[in-house]
């Protein structure tokens, strides 16, 4: 049957809503009659024995906070066969029969390896980038989108006052979802994403000139981090158009802040689902949102799924943005 003692950890990049997921895991486990440990600083906590037994009150007053109260880390030691074995041995010594891993693709590879060493694991997608193929939604994404939108609205005020062009870099190394959605939400004149190549003259300079003909005097261009060279691009735009242009890199501001309602609710539902899976004896699964349904997939299958970029929405955004 299912696990009686489980553990929960947050790993890799932090995301707003991770606390809501931790809270859901702890409270669900206790409601199922399980014991639950919080593991500190990702997989590192399993390697150095840094865990604490959680009760109902351990997760009070965290649902509204960004970051992760269990802290997070990248663990090079765990990323070795010896590290995985050491973590599995520690779990066995403590009677831990299941681990909920809240993190991104890298953390799920770790969870798959820990399963291979005999410890059942369930992944819960937590990353602001929305870059996990098996799920329509990752915890933290909505908060990051709203933060980016609000920041760009502020940038727009000053851009407008000075008749400038602002090039704003948002997060997303391999995935343009934050750029695409904030680009639409702020009415960006152009949005550049890693998934779609762009032509500097056609997609930026010609569009700016055409917009200028219709009376436009200020411009917002949103660029995903993965496209790169934001400062250089900004200088090229100024040189090609004569319009004063400034670059802003939003950076880690997008990682923080109080999670939105959507992030809190999705995190709560996913955390509950993860515990239910362990309670029912499941292992090696990733929790996902498909449409509005919480579902789960085999971790290895999930890691092999191709990520699909919404090219149709990208085309719509280009039509709206001139």
Give the residues lining the site for ligand ADP (CB under 6 A).
11-13, 43, 74-75, 78-79, 103-107, 109-110, 113, 127
Considering beta carbons, is residue 136 or 160 the nearer one to ligand ADP?
A: 136
Least distance from ligand ADP to the Cβ atom of residue 75, Å: 3
How far is it, in rounded angstroms, from Cα 36 to Cα 74? 23
Report whether 8 contacts 100 (CB < 8 A): yes
Query: Reduced to 3 DSSP states, what percent helix, strand and coil does the chain have, rounded to the nearest 5?
Result: 45, 20, 35
Residue-wise burial string across 203-241, b where 16 or more C-beta atoms lie within 10 A, e elsewhere? bbbebbeebeeeeeebbbbbbbbbbeebeebbebbbebb
Considering beta carbons, is residue 4 or 109 the nearer one to ligand ADP?
A: 109
203 carries an active-site annotation: no
Least distance from ligand ADP to the Cβ atom of residue 114, Å: 8
Beta-strand pair 121-125/98-103: parallel
Least distance from ligand ADP to the Cβ atom of residue 182, Å: 21
Considering beta carbons, is residue 104 or 120 the nearer one to ligand ADP?
A: 104
Catalytically annotated residue among 129, 131, 177, 263: 129
CB burial of residue 181 (10 Å; 0-12, 13-18, 19+): buried
Closest C-alpha among 20, 72, 73 to residue 274: 20
Closest C-alpha among 172, 281, 152 to residue 180: 172
Considering beta carbons, is residue 183 or 194 the nearer one to ligand ADP?
A: 194
Least distance from ligand ADP to the Cβ atom of residue 72, Å: 8
Considering beta carbons, is residue 46 or 208 the nearer one to ligand ADP?
A: 46
Report CA Rg, the chain. 22
How far is it, in rounded angstroms, from Cα 275 to Cα 7? 10
Least distance from ligand ADP to the Cβ atom of residue 278, Å: 20
Catalytic residue numbers?
Answer: 129
């Amino acid at each position: 049957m299912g696990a009686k003692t489980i553990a929960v950890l947050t790993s890799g990049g932090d995301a707003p809503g991770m606390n809501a997921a931790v809270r859901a895991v702890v409270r669900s486990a206790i409601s199922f009659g399980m014991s639950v440990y919080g593991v500190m600083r990702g997989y590192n906590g399993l390697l150095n024995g840094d865990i604490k037994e959680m009760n109902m009150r351990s997760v009070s007053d965290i649902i509204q906070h960004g970051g992760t109260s269990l802290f997070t880390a990248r663990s090079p030691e765990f990323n070795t066969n010896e590290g995985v074995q050491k973590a599995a041995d520690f779990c066995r010594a403590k009677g831990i029969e299941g681990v909920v891993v809240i993190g991104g693709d890298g953390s799920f590879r770790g969870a798959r390896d820990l399963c291979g060493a005999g410890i059942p694991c369930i992944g819960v997608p937590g990353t602001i980038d929305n870059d996990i193929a098996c799920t329509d939604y990752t915890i933290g994404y909505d908060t990051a989108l709203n933060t980016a939108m609000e920041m760009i609205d502020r940038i727009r005020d000053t851009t407008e006052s000075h008749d400038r062009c602002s090039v704003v870099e948002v997060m997303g190394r391999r995935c343009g979802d934050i750029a695409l959605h904030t680009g639409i939400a702020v009415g960006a004149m152009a949005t550049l994403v890693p998934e779609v190549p762009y032509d500097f003259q056609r997609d930026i300079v010609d569009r700016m000139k055409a917009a200028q003909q219709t009376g436009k005097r200020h411009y917002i261009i949103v660029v995903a981090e993965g496209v790169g060279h934001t400062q250089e691009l900004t200088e090229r735009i100024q040189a090609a158009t004569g319009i004063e242009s400034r670059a802003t890199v939003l950076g880690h501001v997008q990682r923080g802040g109080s999670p939105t309602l959507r992030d809190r609710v999705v995190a709560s539902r996913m955390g509950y689902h993860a515990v239910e899976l362990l309670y029912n004896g499941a292992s090696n699964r990733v929790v996902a949102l498909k449409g509005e349904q919480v579902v789960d997939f085999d971790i290895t299958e999930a890691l092999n799924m191709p990520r699909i970029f919404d090219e149709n929405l990208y085309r719509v955004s280009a039509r709206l943005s001139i």
